Amino acid sequence: MTLLDAKEYDPTPSRRRWKIIGLVAAVLIVAFVFWRIYRFWPEEHTINRFFEAIEAKNFDEAYGVYYADPNWKQHPGKYKYSINQFILDWGPSSEYGAITTHHIDCSLEPPAKGYDSSGVVVVVTINRIAESKSMWVEKGTKTITTSPVTVSCQ
């Protein structure tokens, strides 16, 4: 066989290879966008459960969500933040009044400088008040506290 006897060029394998590469790239881009949008979904879901319990005036359940301990009544003295203080802070006599609505504005990791990134800051608007509240949710335990960092969604 000589150079002049070579088979005619068939572009089919090359086209198939580029189609596969394009498909893999598109799947990776979609997966990345999906991950960016839903990466803090567990923490947002925890905050939603917390505020839904408060809106339903079920402070016992909200307290359990706050500490990620549904059986907190089995050991009520375990936490320094008592249920009575919790009801004062989140009940009808709180700074927000009776909490009837909430909206999660955004969620993000705190700035890396000076803060432990073991949690996520979830910014919530309560009762449609202009000033939003930054809540801290631990990634591992899903316990909730007031955020040490005040952030705004922009």
pLDDT of residue 66: 95
Residue 143 · residue 66 · CB < 8 Å: yes
Mean pLDDT of 92-113: 87
pLDDT (mean) for 114-132? 83
Give the model's pLDDT for residue 30. 97
pLDDT beyond 70 at 101? yes
Number of helices followed by number of strands (H, E) in the chain: 4, 4
pLDDT for residue 130: 79
Distance, CA of 145 to CA of 129 (rounded, Å) = 20
pLDDT tens, position by position, 3-35: 677 777 788 888 999 999 999 999 999 999 999
